[in-house]
Structure formats: structure tokens, C-alpha cells
Structure 1
Amino acid sequence: MTDTKSNNNNGAVAALVAAFLGWLFDGFEMGLFPLIGKPALQDLLPKATAVVQGQWFTVIISVFLVGAASGGVLFGWLGDKLGRVKAMTLAIFTYAIFSGLCAFVTEAWHFAALRFIASLGMGGEWALGVALVNEIWGGKNRAWIAGMIGAASNIGFLLTGLISLQLNASLEIVTGWIHAMGLSPENTDYLLHNRAWRFIAVSSALPALINFFILVFVPESHKWEEEKKAGSTSHWATMDLLGVLIACLAAIGIIYVWSPMCSQGNLVAGVVTLVGLAIALWGYLHPVRQYMARSVAAGSTQAAERSTIMSNLLIGAGLAAVALLGTWGSAQQAARWASGLAPQGSKIPIIDYIVIATALGAILVTLITPLIADKLGRRVTYTLLCATALASALAFFQFNKPFTGDSAPQSLIITAFLLGGITASFYGFFPLYFPELFPTSVRATGQGFCFNFGRLIAAVGALQLGNLTTFFGGASGGTHAEAHAFSVLSCIYLVGMVLVWFAPETKGKSLQ
């Protein structure tokens, strides 16, 4: 009996370590493009204007969000049908390998395509890790675990800034190491040119190594195994994934009509967006709807439970959409925007400083947010998060101005810390709240849909940054116009402050 209990404890710890590492490297991959995107696009689009490069920056972010939305449903489906552990290893392998391949791109659209495939795995890993850890640990320390989930990805985000800062400060030493390994001077220059963005990109393939640890030491969720024995997993059908493919194509169509590659007017693009969102919503929900229909027909699920699950899917997606649009419309833009505040020709590593400051804030606040939600309840906490996130975004983009001198103003770093912390707080909240909305049989898919359909809405919103910037500053744009655009987009938090009161309050309730 003692040995069995010890093995169970060891398995639970291994699952938490594996998921923590998966989330950490997930955050590293997500932080990769905001860090290296600007120098990468300067190399890939040398003749393009800063405005066009900025448009491509937004398009690649949007492609990433669409891929993550599709991956959340796809890998969530795999997790509910085949098991959490198998699906999680495949998700980590996908995002690691294809992120590493970004080091060898020669065109901007190559970068977008590889980021799309990598993001499939990133979107899936989040939902699978959350489901696995919550099911293995049950009700024990769920608030702390939710905080660790949010903090882990932001530790990965912090690593990108620290690596870039140290790498660019030690280029001569790194160059010597690479030469010592036998790489030619030409290839060394290729890897380390323009803030060493290719070298940083290729390093992102390393997370694939943690799959060996997962496959050897991490047990499958006992709750999922019980569902498999009961026959519930048999209600998932491969043909239902056709809906995910259709949804993904519709979402890519939305991005295309707003991209620099398309010359359609805003009216046509707006119509395509509305139709595309409707198709995407239908497609991403299709596997769950079909599963529920089979489950009800087999007597495994009651019709009332089906109605509740479908309602929670839509509400959860709305809550995630608010948080993600706020993040990708403000915090993820902060480093690139702040770099434009420095004097012309400045060597101050503003991008690295802002990435590090926002990540440190995010680590701290995501750890404590679930504890606050356990005390105040889910609705009140989410409302407070929205209010403070809006305030932090307005403070960062409206109070910071272009500066002179050889160092970044303290106010810029402090407001970046607050912006990163408060806008990231939702990623400590969702791992606590979303598992409570769904039963074990659809938990991975349900969480994957909610969190990642929110990414699709965020992608559509982020694509409007170019129009908002032009509206405030004309064709030339500039940091002043961008500040207003980011501030307006951050007002989406006002919607969240209303929407959450239509969501169920789950404080004190155990997992279904």
C-alpha cells in the first residue's frame, strides 16, 4: 500500500514537472516573435517601409493566434480521445521543431507558415497540461497549481529576454564558441546577424528533449482512464476534425483579406471577417457538438448537461477573447513600440528591457491571481483584473514619451512591469476556472476551444491595429498614433467586465 501511494505521489510530481516545463517552453516560444520579429522582418523585407514591416509583424502574430486556436481544438480532441500524455508529447514536439526551423527562413511568408504550424502545438499543449495536472492532483492545492501554470509560461517569456540581452552583450565570445565548433565565418555571421535573431530561433527547438522525460515518468490521468473504461472516449470520431480544418481555413481567409498581400477594401474585408468568424465558430465547435450528440444518444450524458456544456463553451471563449485581445493588443506590442521611443541610433536594448520587465510582472501576478479568485470568487476577480488591466495599458501607452539620453526612463520600466503583470494575470485565472466548467470527458477539448477561440478573436482585433494607427496618425503612423491605437484596443476589457456576470460562479466547487 505504501509503495502504491509513493508511486502515485511520484507520478503526480512528475506530471506537474512535465507540464510546468511544457508551459515554460510554451511561453518561451510565444515570447520569441515579439523579441525577434522586428530584426527578422528587417532582414526578410529589406526594401519595405517600417509601416509595411509593422503590418507583417501583425499578420504573423495573427497567423500564430489562428494556429493556436486550431491546435487547441485539434490537440484537445486528441487528448480526450487518445490520452493526455500522448497528445501532450506530440504538441511539444510540434511547437519545438517548427519554431526552430524559423531560423532558416528567407521570406516573411515562410516565417508566418512555420509559426502557424508551431502554434498548433502551443495551443494544444496549454489545454492538455491543464487537464492532466488538474485531474491528477484533484482538489489539492488547485489555486497554487493554477498560479504555477500562469507563472511557468511567463518564466519562459522572461528567458527570451535574458538570453537576447546576454547574447547581444557577448557576441564576440559566442562567435568564438561557434567558430570553435567548426562553423564557417559566413555561417556564423548568418546566425548572429541583426541581434542574433536566427540563433535565438534555432535554440527554440531544444524543448523537444523534454518528451523523453514525459514518456518515461509521467502517468496518464486516472480520470481519463476511467472515462476510457466506461466507453466515453469512443464517442469521439476522426471525421469530426473536418470541422476544425474548415474553421482553420476560414480563419486564414480572414487574415489574408487584412494582410498587405491583399488589396481588398475594408468593407469587403469586414464582410469576409463576419462570415469567416461564423464558419470558424461552427467548425471549432463541431467535434464537441458531435461528441455530445453521440453521448446523449448512448445515455452517457443528459440533455441538460449538454446544454450547460455548450453554454459554458461560448461564455468561456468570450472571457478568453477579452483577455487575449487585450494582451496581444497591448503587452505583446509593448517591446516593439517602446523601441521607437529611444533616440535615433541608440544602442539601448529597449526591447530586451521591456520583455524582461513585462515577464517579471507577469510571473509575480499570475502566481497570486488564483489565490485572490479563491477568496473573492471568480466573477469579482475577473472584473477586477479587467479594470486594472485597462488602467495599466493606458498608463503605459499614454504616459511614456520619446526620450533622450543613454538609459531608459524608470517610468517606462515600471509601467512595463505593471502592464505585463496585470494583463497576464488572466493566465493564472483561466487554469483555475476553465477546468471547473467541463466534465472529464470533454475537459481538454472544452478548455482548448475556450482559450484558443479567444485567440482567433484576438487575431481579428490585432489585424485592426494598422487601421487604427492610420486613423490616428495617417499613413506615416508613428509611436504617437500607435499609442492611441493600442489604448483603444485595450478598451475591450470593458466588455469583459460585463460578460463575466453571465458566467457561472464556481468558487468552492470541485471538478466535475
Structure 2
Amino acid sequence: MFPLIGQPALKDLLGPQTSDAAISQWFGVIIATFLVGAASGGVLFGWLGDKMGRVRAMGLSIFTYAIFTGLCGFAHHAEQITALRFIASLGMGGEWSLGVALVNEVWSAKSRAVTAGLIGAAANVGYLIVGFLSMALLGFITSAQHGLSAIGLSQATVHYLTDHSAWRLLMISGALPALLNFLILLFVPESEKWKAEHARGATAHWARLDLLGVLYGSVAALVIIWAWSPMGADKVNIYGAIAITVVGLGVALIGYLHPVRKYMHRAEAAGTLQSGRGAVLIKLMLFGAVLSSVALLGTWGSTQWAPKWVADQLAPHTKNAKEWTQIWLSIGACVGTMIAAIAAGRYGRRITYAVLCATSIAGTLLLYLANDTYGPFFLFCIFLAGTVTASFYGFFPLYLPELLPTAVRATGQGFAYNFGRIIAAVGGLQTANLMKLFGGSFPKAASCMAGIYIIGIVIVWFGPETKGQPLPE
């Protein structure tokens, strides 16, 4: 939701006198904090899923994500919405890692590619719904005000919920997915593969004390965000921020890996994991984290800023411009995730990832360098950019589960996918700095960020090709 409601929300919270540059900086900080929370939640809830089962942990993650998203609608300061979105994102990170593990373990091997594409497409259907919901609220704010008054709310409360493009009402609506928990706990079956691991004692090697590593990693990542934020700008110069970033990333990496490393040490000692296998799995997790970092940094440092670019610079006075931008971005993403997963299933994982990186560079440059007005050609370009840059989110649900065995799949792929969010958070903060470097030009800054995909084209060939292989046990 935040790419759509971030602008009016921050103007409301920071005051109308706040400069556009300050709003852009806060926008980047809030997105970065959200990504850090998702990284922490991927490991935390992945740990819960590997220890207590996929379904119960997934229900808890969705509840956390939904409730704290809804509470954002009652924030009074930018710091409050930052903190609430951090907690909400813990659930989002866990939801992805648990859902992907569960689906891959329940569905047959022959349909894994299509299923992975559907997972990625379904996530972007959510973005699509938010775009239409935002337009509906903007189009029916007056009707909503009458409706809220009719149920007995005071005029002050009604305006509190519906002023500033109704951003509070839209955030409160984010609590609705909490109702899914009843259906999940009643009807979603637990993974038989996890049950088998539990029966042989493999899940007993997870220890609660190991989660302190996730806490240390989260704190280190948040300190990095603070160093680049408006709060830290007056206290740390750019060289200090760079030093904090380097050290912080190292601490975060060690902290997030700590629960898995300790688990593998115990499992090897107990004989439930082959001796030396743990080191191999750690390398695979780090490899997956690099692949995810490339895709996530490209998305969150570039294309996810497009609705704000449209609202601020390209079409600030055009009704529903940012909503249509997100809608066409999401439609392209739904298409791209399906194409990527099916292509990876047919042609192989490594060549598909390399092609996705190359087309993402082309799609991003076309969007930002070939458009200076809002219109049909812009919407066509945003559709193409969404198709190629979001295609990775159909690829990862297929490839990452194939790298890791059942006993550590949720935690391991939670780390591999979500640690990429830490890199994306740090890199995404540089978008605002790049804009300053280019005299406020967002298209030039976003085009520079697209260069990250070059790393992906090279690095993917150092990983295993898993086409045609069963999930490892």
C-alpha cells in the first residue's frame, strides 16, 4: 500500500510545510525499515515453521502482518508508522517463506513451476487490488463520509479517517487478511514432509536461544537505516554512514545465519544431518541471498518508486495517475511471474534468471529514459517494466526451495530471500541520494539502480542447476 499512500500520509504526519526532499527521504526510510523487518521475519517465522509446523506459524505471521498494517492507520508521527510497519513486515517476511515451503512440499513435482508462478502472481494481485481500492476510496470519499457518519461516528472521526486521500482508511483495511486465519487453521493441511522430519526428530534441534542472533541482526540493520535517515543525518557524516553500513551488514549476516548454523551443528552431532553437509547448505543460502538481493534491489530501488514519481513529477495534477501506474505495474507483474516460472521449468533455472536480469535492465531504462509525460505510452512501458522486474517473484518460489532440504527449508529460504531485503533496504535509501546527485532527477537515479542486474547475469552461473531434480530431503 505504501507506494500509493506514502505521499499524502507523510504530508499529513510531517506537516504541509515539509519539503519534497524531506518527504522523499522519509519515504525511503520507511520502505527500508519495512524491508529490514521482512528480512527478520523471514528467519524468525521460518524458524517457527521448521520447529512447530508450517500451518500454525503461517497463521501467526499473517495475523501479525494484518493487525499491525491496520494499526498504521492510527499513527500520529512518521516515527510511529515506521515502527508499526517494521512489526507488520515481520509477518510479511514469514508469510512468504512459510507459504512457499508449504506449497512446494504439498504440490507434486510436475506442477511446481506453474505453482511457483501462481504464488508470484497472487502476490501481485494484492498490489492490483490495492490500486483499485485506492481509486474507489478517492472516488467515493464523500459517500464514505456519509456512510461513516450514518453509523454514528463523529464528524471529527470521519475527517480523521478520510482526509488526505483517505490514507488512514486504506491502511486500516489492511487488517482484513487477519480473518484468513480461521480458514487456514481449519482447512489447510500440514506438510507431510515436515511431519516426517518431525517424526524422526530432526525438528528438535532448533533452540529458542538461537533467535538472539536474529535480534542482533535486526538491530544492526536498523542502525544502518538510522545512519542514512533524517534522524541520523545530523549526527553521522557520509563516511561514518558508509562505515556503519559495512560493519552493520556483517553483523546482520552473522546474526541471521546464527539459528541455522547452530541447528546444523546440533543435527550433525546427533546424526540427523550428514557430517559436512551444513557448510554446503550455508553456501547455498548465501548464493540464494545474492540472487535475491539483485532482484529486490532492482525492484525496491527503482520500479516501486514509480507511483511516487508519477504523483510528484510526471503527472502531479492528473486524477488517479499513481493508481493507474500501480495497476498496470501489477498487471505486468502477474504476467511476468507466470512466464518466468514456466520458462525456468522448461529451459532451466540459470539461463532463465540471466535472461530476466537482462530484460529488466532494458525494461527499466525504457520506462525512465523514454518517458517525460504521463499517457498511454507511459502505461505501456510501466506494464513492460512490471512484467520483467517482478518476474523474479515467480522464479524464487521455484528455485529457492530446490536448494535446501525439508528440515531447514523454511528458515533457509527465509534467510536467502529476505536477506536480500536488507541489501535492497540499504540500496533503496541511496535512490534519494542519487536524486540529489542528478539534480532531483528520479529517472536518472532509477536508471543507475538498474545496473545491479548486471551482477545477477554473472553470479547465477556459480550456482547449481536444479531442473528436473526432486526437492532435496
TM-score (structure 2 length as normaliser): 0.98
| Equivalent residues of 1:323, 1:423 under 8 A apart | yes
Aligned to 2:135: 165
**In 1, Cα distance between the equivalents of 2:189 and 2:376?**
47
| Superposed displacement of residue 232, structure 1 | 0.4
Count the aligned residue pairs: 469
Q: Which amino acid aligns with 2:190?
A: E
Q: Does residue 483 of structure 1 match 2:443?
A: yes
2:165 to 177, 189, 195: 195
Q: Which amino acid aligns with 2:107?
A: W
* CA-to-aligned-CA distance 1:405-443 (integer Å, 9 cap, x gap): xxx411110111111111110000000000100000000
Q: Which amino acid aligns with 1:91?
A: S
Aligned to 2:327: 356
Aligned to 2:361: 390
**In 1, Cα distance between the equivalents of 2:391 and 2:314?**
28
Aligned to 2:6: 37
| Equivalent residues of 1:138, 1:511 under 8 A apart | no
Aligned to 1:272: 244
Q: Does residue 377 of structure 1 match 2:348?
A: yes
Q: Which amino acid aligns with 2:277?
A: E
| Superposed displacement of residue 298, structure 1 | 0.9
| Equivalent residues of 1:342, 1:348 under 8 A apart | no
Q: Which amino acid aligns with 1:89?
A: G
Aligned to 1:179: 149
- The worse-fitting range, judged by mean Cα deviation, of 360-369 and 253-262 is 360-369
CA RMSD of aligned residues (A): 1.0
Taking the TM superposition and a 5 Å limit, the aligned residue runs for 1:427-442 are 427-442=393-408
**In 2, Cα distance between the equivalents of 1:431 and 1:465?**
28
**In 2, Cα distance between the equivalents of 1:177 and 1:368?**
43
Aligned to 2:466: 506
**In 2, Cα distance between the equivalents of 1:508 and 1:316?**
19
**In 2, Cα distance between the equivalents of 1:379 and 1:217?**
36
Aligned to 2:295: 323
- 5+ long unaligned stretches in structure 1: 1-31
| Superposed displacement of residue 246, structure 1 | 0.3
| Superposed displacement of residue 343, structure 1 | 5.4
- The worse-fitting range, judged by mean Cα deviation, of 78-87 and 298-307 is 298-307
Aligned to 1:48: 18
* CA-to-aligned-CA distance 1:373-399 (integer Å, 9 cap, x gap): 011100000000000011111111111
Aligned to 1:20: none
| Superposed displacement of residue 167, structure 1 | 1.6
* CA-to-aligned-CA distance 1:330-380 (integer Å, 9 cap, x gap): 111011012233456x24221101010100100111112111001110000
| Superposed displacement of residue 99, structure 1 | 0.2
**In 2, Cα distance between the equivalents of 1:438 and 1:54?**
39
| Superposed displacement of residue 308, structure 1 | 1.9
* CA-to-aligned-CA distance 1:468-491 (integer Å, 9 cap, x gap): 111111xxx2xxx21111111111
Q: Does residue 451 of structure 1 match 2:417?
A: yes
| Equivalent residues of 2:39, 2:418 under 8 A apart | yes
Aligned to 1:15: none
Aligned to 2:456: 496
**In 1, Cα distance between the equivalents of 2:367 and 2:112?**
32
* CA-to-aligned-CA distance 1:184-230 (integer Å, 9 cap, x gap): 22211111111111110000000000000011111211111111110
| Equivalent residues of 1:70, 1:248 under 8 A apart | yes
Q: Which amino acid aligns with 1:454?
A: G
Aligned to 1:71: 41
Q: Which amino acid aligns with 1:467?
A: N
**In 1, Cα distance between the equivalents of 2:153 and 2:35?**
35
Q: Which amino acid aligns with 2:392?
A: F
| Superposed displacement of residue 304, structure 1 | 3.6
**In 2, Cα distance between the equivalents of 1:468 and 1:388?**
23
SS in 2 for 1:340: helix
SS in 2 for 1:151: helix
Taking the TM superposition and a 5 Å limit, the aligned residue runs for 1:405-416 are 408-416=374-382
**In 1, Cα distance between the equivalents of 2:144 and 2:438?**
43
- Structure 1 residues 63 and 343, CA gap change in structure 2 (3 angstroms): closer
| Equivalent residues of 2:217, 2:255 under 8 A apart | yes
Q: Which amino acid aligns with 2:449?
A: L
**In 2, Cα distance between the equivalents of 1:459 and 1:138?**
35
Q: Which amino acid aligns with 1:80?
A: D
| Equivalent residues of 2:267, 2:273 under 8 A apart | yes
**In 1, Cα distance between the equivalents of 2:446 and 2:275?**
43
| Superposed displacement of residue 140, structure 1 | 3.9
**In 1, Cα distance between the equivalents of 2:260 and 2:37?**
19
- Structure 1 residues 395 and 56, CA gap change in structure 2 (3 angstroms): same
Q: Does residue 462 of structure 1 match 2:462?
A: no
Aligned to 1:11: none
- Structure 1 residues 363 and 343, CA gap change in structure 2 (3 angstroms): closer
**In 1, Cα distance between the equivalents of 2:314 and 2:55?**
46
- 5+ long unaligned stretches in structure 2: none
**In 2, Cα distance between the equivalents of 1:149 and 1:426?**
11
- The worse-fitting range, judged by mean Cα deviation, of 186-195 and 171-180 is 171-180
| Equivalent residues of 1:342, 1:350 under 8 A apart | no
| Superposed displacement of residue 123, structure 1 | 0.2
Q: Which amino acid aligns with 1:254?
A: I
SS in 2 for 1:348: coil
**In 2, Cα distance between the equivalents of 1:37 and 1:251?**
22
SS in 2 for 1:493: helix
| Equivalent residues of 2:315, 2:321 under 8 A apart | no
| Superposed displacement of residue 303, structure 1 | 2.6
Q: Does residue 301 of structure 1 match 2:267?
A: no
Q: Which amino acid aligns with 1:33?
A: F
- Structure 1 residues 460 and 493, CA gap change in structure 2 (3 angstroms): same
**In 2, Cα distance between the equivalents of 1:65 and 1:342?**
26
**In 2, Cα distance between the equivalents of 1:343 and 1:483?**
14
Aligned to 1:236: 206
**In 2, Cα distance between the equivalents of 1:48 and 1:341?**
17
Q: Which amino acid aligns with 1:394?
A: L
Q: Which amino acid aligns with 1:441?
A: A
| Equivalent residues of 2:131, 2:326 under 8 A apart | yes
* CA-to-aligned-CA distance 1:89-108 (integer Å, 9 cap, x gap): 00000000000000010100
- Structure 1 residues 162 and 501, CA gap change in structure 2 (3 angstroms): same
2:105 to 126, 132, 135: 135
Q: Does residue 89 of structure 1 match 2:49?
A: no
- The worse-fitting range, judged by mean Cα deviation, of 433-442 and 411-420 is 411-420
Aligned to 2:253: 281
* CA-to-aligned-CA distance 1:247-302 (integer Å, 9 cap, x gap): 00000000000000112111000000000000000000001100111111111111
Aligned to 1:23: none
SS in 2 for 1:413: helix
